[in-house]
Amino acid sequence: MALALTSAPASAQDTGDTRAQQPAMGEQVPDAGDDVRPPQPPSDVTLPEVEPVIPDNEFETLVPPLDAEDDPELDKPLETIEAFERRLAEQQSDAEPSEGQAPPLATPALSDEDATEEIGDAPVRDTELVAPLPPLDQFEVTPVEFAKDAADQEQVEVAYKVDVEGLATADKESDTDMKGEFNSLSALKKGDGKAANAAMIRARLNEDQQLLQTILESEGWFSPEIRGRIVPSRDESNKELTARLSVTPGKRYVFSDIVIDADPTEPPDLIKDNLALEVGQPIIAERVQGAEAQIAVALPENGYPFAEVGDRDILLDRDTGDGVYTLPVKTGPRGRFDGFTTDGDLAFNAEHIRVLSRFKRGELYDSRKVDDLRKALVATNLFKAVSVEPVQTGEPAGNDSEYVTLHVHQEAGPPRTIAGSLGYAAGEGFTAEASWTHRNLFPPEGALIGHAIAGTQQQGAGVTFRRSNAGKRDRTFEVKAEAFHNNYDAYSAYTGRLAARISRDSTPIWQKRYTYAYGVELLATAETDYNAETGDRKRRTYYIAGVNGQLGFDTTDDLLNPTEGYRLTALVQPEATVNKGFNPYVRARIDGSTYFSVSDSLVLAGRVRLGTIQGVGLYDIAPSRRLYAGGGGSVRGYAYQGLGEQAPDGKPIGGRSLNEASVEARYRFGNYGVVAFVDAGQAYRETMPQFSDLRYGVGLGGRFYTNFGPIRLDVATPINRQPGEARINVYVSIGQAF
């Protein structure tokens, strides 16, 4: 038991302090002329007798008597200060300076020429000190230069080398490269063997001693001995020093017991099964941190949204090398999903947030589903910031659990976007596209899009209404109205189009494995077509109605720049043409592509495409609905729609079937890449692909990789070039060719 003692500060009387005491506030201070006598004790108090320190007789013996006869000045009264100053001035004015002595003051005035002061300043004998200061604009300062020896100007460097002894023993037992880690962080290594002096080497040596201590402790050696010293060279001609670190790792500590301090969980071994630590393992810092991080992740994934992992405690026994590990965990209540609340600058309400979620009320809380909801909110592109956090309700949900509300804080971003793109392809020329989008004009997620295209061979404009996540996550409803003009070698068309579609599509932010689309469309188009009977081209009007359906399967790792996986897409379009009769038919197409990474830099890619039109003659199909091959997205090396049967005027007439194939080798270095490719394909009058008379194109391409996908530039040439075909064809676009 400890006893604390306190004491008040001692007074002057208690301590024998004979210094004058300061008067208290409000106390009157006597003047110097007052008769000040010490306070007298009361008359009824008897003071004790105190013996003098020095007896009177001894004091008188030691101090000689003062006699006025010996020194008459002792009996004279003291002169006043004014008389003293006047006498001193007269003496200085009459005195003659000796050799080397400064002259006295010219006048008896004080040094600052103020003769009214009671106590004067010290005499000033340097007249410059009392001279008036010059004006500021005439004040000049001459810098003082100090001469330096040439030897002082040269930078002196001390060379040294680093020698680490004893670390290899521990490095062999560790799963990490401790020597490599030391070399990458060492202050001595970063100095490149040069220092200004030996003191700098010593400072780096001390820093590296602490670094080695930290590295060894992180791998379980908690009591190493590390000695550092600077050793001069034995060779007198070699002045290089050696910074030597000697390491004795000592014992490597291991877990002797693992204790989890937590409330019971469901299942009972939830924490134990996710803690990747075992008795007998070395105490490695990275492994311990990783195991604790796994607990922090596993608990919210299994129904404990408010779990907290506390600070670990490891008790080390230096005699045995054992460590007892204790981890406190606050699990909190087991939770189940309830509803949603939201606040902030809202883009949509809580009901639409429920549409975006992939869980139902009453399901066991899973943080992975919460992360999925957060990604879906970000993918709407309506927020500059959005957060999702669980909130306790205290409402029982059965089975020792309670409901958890998800609170969404919204900060809506600018809803409008203006975008544009520019491309070029042989046979198509230049194409410029622009669009204006209001992504949330009709909440929730009701977008209005205006778009226009202007190019060498196509011009048009249109408007689109799009409802994203329409009543269901990832479902899009779209209505489009547009009018455009195409002027290709195969045909010239003025077209008006109305279409509606429901789809589940992939986007660069949210790539999906399964996709689908189905819809209807109506077209009215006036197109030029080759007339086999007359041998010329005439414009005909077609009215087309159709439905369409598409299925896709995608296992690739990236939408615009895949390096692994494959894709399959099937499209079926039953249509009917009304033009001097009713002509129904079916258009169908199958696309497949695959990607294989040979290395981190080299990717091999291949694709095939098959298409057919069944149920109608070639000239009963509008030219814009026929099948064509050739161009940047088909067979490079040829003009757009340039393959297939040709009319006598040398222009393509299209076909009812096609087949295409491409192989690419893509090599990437940093943000750039090169591509070598071979394409093949043909379009046929027949309804089924013939795989005959294939045309080939070869070429090289360049890629510039950006954060939104690669920019593509391909240059290709046809093999066995025919009359009228260009020798070189160039294609520029965003994204890979396939």
Q: Cα(409)–Cα(384) distance, rounded to whole angstroms?
A: 11
Q: Cα(239)–Cα(646) distance, rounded to whole angstroms?
A: 87
Of residues 646 and 660, the one with the higher pLDDT is 660
Mean pLDDT of the chain: 84
Is a pLDDT exceeding 80 seen at residue 228? yes
Q: Among 318, 272, 264, which Cα is nearest to 295's? A: 272
Q: How is residue 327 written in tokens?
A: 């981890």
Tell me if 468 sits within 8 A of 451, measured CB to CB. no
Residue 179 main-chain phi, psi, to 5 deg: -65, -40
Q: What is the DSSP string of 655-724?
A: BSEEEEEEEEEEEEETTEEEEEEEEEEEEESSSS----S-EEEEEEEEEEEETTEEEEEEEEEESSPPTT
Out of 38-47, 555-564, 654-663, 723-732, which region has the weakest mean confidence (pLDDT)?
Answer: 38-47
Q: Among 390, 263, 273, which Cα is nearest to 329's? A: 263
Q: Which residues, including other chains, have CB under 8 Å from residue 149's CB and lie 6 or more apart? A: none
Distance of CA 236 to the CA centre of its chain: 53
Of residues 233 and 643, the one with the higher pLDDT is 643
Q: Cα(346)–Cα(408) distance, rounded to whole angstroms?
A: 10
Q: Give, for 286, the enclosing helix (H) or strand (E).
A: helix 285-301
| pLDDT recorded at residue 9 | 37
Tell me if 435 sits within 8 A of 418, measured CB to CB. yes
Mean local confidence (pLDDT), 685-700: 93
Sign of CA pseudo-dihedral 270, 276, 282, 283: negative
Q: Bridge-partner residues for 581, per DSSP? A: none
Going across the sheet that includes 383-396, the strands are 334-345, 401-412, 383-396
Residue 651 main-chain phi, psi, to 5 deg: -105, 145
Q: How is residue 524 written in tokens?
A: 């009215």
Residue-wise pLDDT tens digits, 389-436: 999 999 999 888 999 999 999 999 999 999 988 887 766 778 899 999
Is a pLDDT exceeding 80 seen at residue 187? yes
Q: Cα(60)–Cα(9) distance, rounded to whole angstroms?
A: 40
Q: Which residues, including other chains, have CB under 8 Å from residue 369's CB and lie 6 or more apart? A: 337, 357, 358, 359, 363
Percentage of the chain exceeding pLDDT 70: 80
Listed ranges 2-6, 32-36, 201-205, 721-725; the one with the highest mean pLDDT: 201-205
Q: Can you say whether residue 654 is alpha, beta or left, with left for phi > 0 and alpha for psi between -120 and 50 degrees?
A: left
User: Using 50, 70 and 90 to split pLDDT, how confident is the model at 155?
Assistant: low
Q: Cα(305)–Cα(296) distance, rounded to whole angstroms?
A: 10
For the purposes of burial, counting CB atoms within 10 Å of the CB of 620, is it exposed (0-12), middle (13-18) or buried (19 or more)? middle
Q: Cα(181)–Cα(196) distance, rounded to whole angstroms?
A: 26
Which residue do the tokens 């400072």 mark? 203
Mean local confidence (pLDDT), 311-331: 94
